[in-house]
Structure 1
Amino acid sequence: MTISKYIAFLCLLVTTLCTAQNKSITLDDIWSNGTFRQERLDALHSMKNGKEYSVLNFDRKNGSTTIDIYDYKTLEKVKTLVSSLNLEDIKFFTDYKFSDDESQVLLATNQESIFRRSTLANYYVLDTKTGMLTSVSNEKIQEPTFSPDGQKVAYGLNNNLYVKDLISGNTTQFTKDGIKNKIINGITDWVYEEEFGFVRAFEWNANSDKIAFIRFDETNVPEFSMDVYGKNLYQTQTVFKYPKAGEANAIVSLYVYDFKENKTNEVKVNKDYKDFYIPRIKWTNNPDVLSAQFSNRHQNELDLWMINTNKNKAILAVEERDKAYVDVTDNLTFLEDNSFIWTSEKDGFNHIYHYTKDGELINQVTKGNWEVTNYYGLDVKTNKIYYQSVENGSINRDVYSINLNGTNKQRLTKNTGTNNADFSADFTYFINTFSSATTPPVYTLNSAANGNVIKKIKDNEKLAETVSQYSLSQKEFSTIHVNGNDLNMWVIKPANFDVNKKYPLLMYQYSGPGSQQVTNRWNSSNDYWYQMLAQKGYIVACVDGRGTGLKGADFKKITQKELGKFEVEDQIEAAKLLGQRNYIDASRIGIWGWSYGGFMSSNALLKGNDVFKMAIAVAPVTSWRFYDSIYTERYMTTPQENASGYDDNSPINHVDKLKGDFLLIHGTGDDNVHVQNTMRMVEALIQADKQFEWMIYPDKNHGIYGGNTRKHLYTKMTNFIDRTLGDKLEAN
């Protein structure tokens, strides 16, 4: 059976066989029993030889983990490189990283989360040839990273940076001024981690003799505290630096530690930045030249500098400017001649550009009214670039190749849906992960030359068979014309949908800048919940309004300085239009969302009080004055500059408009959107004499999970929906 026929078979199981079944989804199926668990390839790594790849495998029976090596061509397991059963000091490990020559591997165990992306763990270096296991530190550390020559490991500990010499066994501490809530070396502060999306703020150069790092002085950043209730007689408190919009940020500076001289020098550029960010640093292939991206506080100016760390001389290579904001790129890639790949939306859509090492534009590689969504790399043998884009429709993802000079573009993936690639080191193969709204994830080995499927690696046929036992409805994709724009939309109707009946409607959205919820991919946990609601007799819909992503910069950036204005207008108007359909009961329309989506659902209920009967807001921002500086100011500038933009569209200032049913939900341990948002909203509602419901989850973070928490949360929301929208539901 060809892969296309196989995918069609999986689709058939889901979309046709399921209609013959009538099993109902329960919250236990979604949150407790693992009924819809997917098969995955975890921690996939392409080996340097280009012929093999490694995967992290878990054995639930004996609680062990292995790193297994597979052959690309045959897909057969070649060997088990590492098994925790053979390691005296490690019962199991949860992550691994190879040295450049793959003769050593870092193993993480006893991991514990700090914030969303940051963790502490015990780390060991395993010599794969001798089997010798070496502890990197007796303490839990952050972000250990091999030097390119594999002889050292650098890491963060207690706000300072250390290097362990794997040959001598000696450890050197090369920063000494790190102090909690004051000075951090080489590890990002809270707001950088959350909004610039990285934790490790140090980088080795190519020769393994220098480390560049960012230093954060957060002395003057205001502190935020959270009570941790725990199980003891007295609660404790977590105190951390959190710059809210308009408040003081950490002062950042750039340093290079030179191993040969045992000396640390500050690195400066030829521009007098007053209040700025350094969102990315990366060494070029020249071991003396460091690249650094500098952004002004408004984030509408982004400069890429090339810094000669020997001469402390900097060249401004690229200047990005925008009336709204410039997104930080993760795709900066230096080629063998130190020319570089850069992605930018300066022509209105995100595309790939090729520059000389000094920043002269060689050519724009990709062009068109569509977005590049991922850059995979360049095959130096063929001069082909591999990337992912939405050229085949903004709700889909495909993998493409194109020559470095912008010619001979080729679509490599054949099936319409979401395709994600992981290329072999020599770009001979790629492992493609495909899914769609009707097909659970399928992993295949593909030829990078033409995209043809060589062999299926792993499928979710068992999941497809499980899903086929339930009475599910197809997710219907379309567009809806709202406020002059064709907005992407999906709708889930009851399986026994009758056009002559009237159904209540629940709308879901997120709506944050550049986000996307209407995508052609397999079910998330929420999708199963929507199917459960459809089984009860609800219609569920999602509309991506103005401000969301992958439809060009103008569409995305229209919300600048007015977050919550156009997005809310679109949700209200979409609800009105849907309510005009003869099968939707316009008197029973609700809306819900989480985080930015909670901000939106709150606003929609208040500003659209003649349209929405109810709303649920989970972990919502209720005033942008309460949220962090980097995210909020990127879209709003500061509250000192744009007070009306902050206040006119914040739910906390519109509580007097509440007419419908409102459920507020928050975790007290939310370090991201602080429970302060809900507490201040609650007080405003009380003083406005408005009745509402709310639920607080003790010590739970922004994700509100752990133990029975998720099931409890979704039971609470389901009951609220049934009580407020489901009063006329017929038995289904």
Structure 2
Amino acid sequence: MVKWATNTKVAVNWLSRAQNVSILTLCDATTGVCTKKHEDESEAWLHRQNEEPLFSRDGRKFFFVRAIPQGGQGKFYHITVSSSQPNSSNDNIQSITSGDWDVTKILSYDEKRNKIYFLSTEDLPRRRHLYSASTVGSFNRQCLSCDLVGNCTYFSASFSHSADFFLLKCEGPGVPMVTVHNTTDQKKLFDLETNEHIRKAINDRQMPQVEYRQIKIEDYSLPAQILKPATFSDTTHYPLLLVVDGAPGSQSVAEKFAVTWETVLVSSHGAMVLKFDGRGSGFQGTKLLHEVRRRLGLLEDRDQLLAVRTMLKEQYIDRTRVAVFGQNYGGYLSTYILPAKGENQGQMFTCGSALSPITDFKLEGQQFLIIHATADEKIHFQHTAELITQLIKAKANYSLQIYPDESHYFHGERLQRHLYGAIVNFFAECFRVQDKPPTAPAREEEEEED
């Protein structure tokens, strides 16, 4: 991380190769001399090291996020202020926020009102609200977005240069909208974007029901999100798709609005989609995050499989139609999950798909779709080529969808439609109830011999 603090001073964050020690310095651009402002270390690894500090106008005071111990759940990320003292080489460091929740982003510092504005998970890990906190005295904190917009619990925001006004973006669970507010009393000044056309389109369609639940794993109660068809009935049997992310520090369960290929699979093909934040996921304390230290791929797949087994206990899940999908690190996990055994040592998953996977694995008869762009600069196509070599040797049943000369991020609406269409069609075919061949009529008793 490198950021200009003033016209002559630049903040530089140095990180060890093992990513377990960081040093935040303030460097003079004219002389090249750097002064250490803060040092942090971890027995595992340091998370969120690319976030920029927020400086006062004179550069003598700055705010940054660091992990602070908060009891049994480990450390949570909170705002710390560092103030230079006159005639002293030591800085005064104070924590402005605390609690078993994370500050996810520092947005603005209002020097004339002595307030800092930020987003946090204080309400719930799957939510984001806008808060202010005093930078003097007892650091009183106030939620600015709570109950401000109906059917919205996930926000982002940006402030004017003077911090007199802020732009508030509702990102879910309702249709996103953008409003402009007065910072002093949070009064709405006007709507910038209401997305009425999207709202009307949503109202005219049968959108999935969204359910949240907690799943117990050892000492943790971890969040799951389930997408159900709008016409859901517990007397009907539905196929189940597990969508895996699982990268350390990631979050799959969030109250954000989204219309994706998963929405199409649920609404148009009657499937159910499961997402689960297991050990190693973010925004639930560093104890949970660091559980996967030196054990990548060992705990995450167990947790995802436990979430699936929990769902298979429900009478409305069709155990013969269960699938898994993952992308990037999730693709890595999905390849390990796919061969898992269910009851009576039978296959738990009917089929699976991985987008830009990173590993090799064993298949035992399931359908498997591999998708990769040949010019992927993040996860090289070599991973898929090596995987295919092993699949051929194992005589595995797989399909390959490549995108020539395309990058990792699949830019372009037409390309994305083709990609998501391929994924939906694959799982729709996997979940299709096969027509049973007509049974032979019972053989009538042989006619009496003439």
TM-score, normalised to structure 2, is 0.87
Q: Could you tell me which amino acid in structure 2 is paired with residue 512 of structure 1?
A: A
Q: Deviations over 1:488-546 (max 9, x none)?
A: 222121222221121110111211111112111211434xx424433322111211221
Q: Aligned with 1:316: secondary structure?
A: strand
Partner of 1:350, secondary structure, is strand
Q: What corresponds to 1:547 in structure 2?
A: 280
Give me the whole-angstrom Cα distance separating, in 2, the residues matched to 1:560 and 1:360. 33
In the alignment, the residues of structure 1 paired with residue 8 and residue 52 of structure 2 have an alpha-carbon distance, to the nearest angstrom, of: 21
Query: Which SS does the other structure have where 2:333 is aligned?
Result: helix
| Cα distance in structure 1, aligned partners of 2:366 and 2:191 | 51
Of 170, 174, 178, the match for 1:434: 170
1:310 shift after superposition: 5.0
Q: Whole-Å Cα distance in 2 between the matches of residues 294 and 584 of structure 1?
A: 50
One of 153, 158, 171 as aligned partner of 1:422: 158
Q: Which residue of 1 aligns with 2:134?
A: 403
CA apart distance, 1:307: 3.0
What residue is the counterpart of 1:353 in the other structure? Answer: 80
Residues in 1 aligned to 2:67 and 2:412: alpha-carbon distance in whole angstroms = 39
The structural deviation recorded for 1:444 is 1.2
TM-score between both structures, scaled by the size of structure 1: 0.54
Deviation of the 1:608 alpha carbon = 5.1
Aligned ranges for residues 10-29 of structure 1 at < 5 Å? none
| Equivalent residue pairs, number | 416
Counterparts of residues 9-88 of structure 1 (less than 5 Å): none
Distance (whole Å) between structure 1 residues aligned to residue 248 and residue 418 of structure 2: 30
User: Residue 204 of structure 2 corresponds to which residue in structure 1?
Assistant: 469
The alpha-carbon distance between structure 1 residues 710 and 334, as it changes in their structure 2 partners (threshold 3 A), is closer
**Amino acid paired to 2:111:** V
Quick one: distance in 1 between partners of 2:412 and 2:169? 29
Q: C-alpha distance in 2, partners of 1:359/1:681?
A: 55
Of 265, 269, 279, the residue aligned with 1:536 is: 269
Deviations 1:395-421 (A, max 9, x none): 111101110135221100024411111
Partner SS, residue 208 of structure 2: coil
Is 2:350 the counterpart of 1:613?
A: yes
* CA deviation string 1:300-342 (max 9, x = no partner): 1101123345555432221110111123142312224512212
CA contact 2:155–2:168 (8 Å) conserved in 1:
yes
Partner of 2:405: 699
Q: Taking every aligned residue pair, what percent have the same amino acid on both sides?
A: 27
- For residue 671 of structure 1, what is the aligned residue in structure 2? 377
Q: Residue 195 of structure 1 aligns with which residue?
A: none
Whole-angstrom CA distance in 2 between matches of 1:699 and 1:352? 43
1:616 positional shift: 0.6
Secondary structure of the structure 2 residue equivalent to 1:710: helix
User: Residue 589 of structure 1 aligns with which residue?
Assistant: 322
> In 2, Cα distance between the equivalents of 1:691 and 1:678?
15
CA contact (8 A) 2:228 2:266 kept: no
| Residue of structure 1 equivalent to 2:254 | 519
AA aligned opposite 1:412: L
SS at match of 2:179: strand
What SS class does the counterpart of residue 25 from structure 2 fall into? strand
Contact 1:482 1:574 survives alignment (8 Å): no
Counterpart AA for 1:328: Q
Cα displacement (A) at 1:666: 0.7
CA distance in 2, matches of 1:314, 1:297: 20
After the TM superposition, which residues 572-587 of structure 1 pair with which residues of structure 2 at under 5 Å, given as runs?
Answer: 572-587=305-320
Contact 2:227 2:266 in 1 (8 A): no
Which residues of 2 match residues 609-688 of structure 1 at below 5 A?
610-622=347-359, 652=360, 654-655=361-362, 658-688=364-394
The letter of the residue matching 2:236 is: K
Report which stretch shifted further, 672-681 or 690-699.
690-699
Work out the CA distance in 2 between the residues paired with 1:288 and 1:503.
Answer: 62
- The reply to whether residue 302 of structure 1 matches residue 302 of structure 2 is no
Counterparts of 1:308 and 1:534, CA distance in 2: 58
Contact (CA 8 Å) 2:280, 2:300: kept in 1 or not?
A: yes
Partner of 1:54: none
Please tell me whether the aligned partners of residues 213 and 223 of structure 2 are also in contact (alpha carbons under 8 angstroms).
Answer: yes
Contact 1:318 1:359 in 2 (8 A): no
Alignment partners' CA distance in 1, 2:268 and 2:98: 44
What is the CA-CA distance between 1:380 and the residue it aligns to? 0.7
Partners of 2:378 and 2:244 in 1: CA distance: 19
Counterpart CA distance in 1 for 2:203 and 2:374 is: 39
Return 5+ residue gaps in structure 1 as ranges: 1-279, 623-651
Report the Cα offset of residue 359 of structure 1: 5.9
Q: Which residue of 2 aligns with 1:258?
A: none
Distance 2:43 2:199 in 1: 47
Change (3 A) 1:691 1:457: closer
The structure-2 alpha-carbon separation of the partners of 1:306 and 1:471, relative to structure 1 and needing over 3 Å to count, comes to closer
Cα deviation for residue 282 of structure 1 reads 2.8
Distance across 2 between alignment mates of 1:722 and 1:429? 48
Distance in 1 (CA, whole Å) between partners of 2:170 and 2:232 is 29
In structure 1, what is the equivalent of residue 441 of structure 2?
Answer: none
2:446 is aligned to none
2:43 equivalent in structure 1:
323
AA in 2 matched with 1:681: L
Q: 1:597 to 1:608 in 2, by over 3 A?
A: farther
Matches within 5 A, 1:154-165: none
Moved more, 387-396 or 402-411: 402-411
SS at match of 2:76: coil
Give yes or no for the alignment of 1:284 onto 2:5: yes
Q: How does 1:57-456 map to 2 (within 5 A)?
A: 280-285=1-6, 287-310=7-30, 312-326=32-46, 327-337=48-58, 338-347=60-69, 348-357=75-84, 360-405=91-136, 406-413=138-145, 414=147, 415=149, 416-437=152-173, 439-456=174-191
1:671: Cα distance to partner?
1.0
Distance 1:324 1:524 in 2: 36
Instruction: Give how far 1:361 is off.
Output: 3.9
CA distance in 2, matches of 1:723, 1:359: 66
Correspondence list, 1:596-607, <5 A: 596-607=329-340
CA shift at 1:615, angstroms?
A: 0.9
CA deviations over 1:650-690 (Å, ceiling 9, x no partner):
xx1x32x5442211111111111111111101111112232
Q: Relative to structure 2, which stretch is displaced further, 477-486 or 561-570?
A: 477-486
Residues 583/663 of structure 1: CA separation in 2 closer, same or farther (3 Å cut): same
Give the AA of the match of 2:108: G
Distance 1:532 1:612, change over 3 A: closer
Q: Distance in 1 between matches of 2:310 and 2:365?
A: 21
Q: What displacement does 1:696 show? A: 1.4
